[in-house]
Amino acid sequence: MGTKKKVEINAINPKHYANYKIQPVTFIMHNEIPYCEANVIKYVCRWRTKHKDMEGKLEDLKKAKEYIDILIRENTHVNPLDIL
């Protein structure tokens, strides 16, 4: 039971976000940020601290870029008046 509680706490407040004044998940939820944009925030916020090796760090940046690419594709042929 003690282990289960620890896992829950770590899932909510992982070490790789400890240097932020507000957890990315809190920022995302309070601002009702859509899924793809939220993932960009998540991966960019953690890329320096989650992984010890450069391969892992770069993987997080690539994941952020993938979500940015999705946003670009989804919004490339949008009527500018629809954004306003």
Residues of the chain with pLDDT under 50: 7-8
Half-sphere exposure at residue 79, Cβ-oriented, CA atoms within 13 angstroms: 2
Q: What is the pLDDT of residue 11?
A: 62
**pLDDT given at position 18:** 67
Query: Can you give the pLDDT at residue 7?
Result: 45
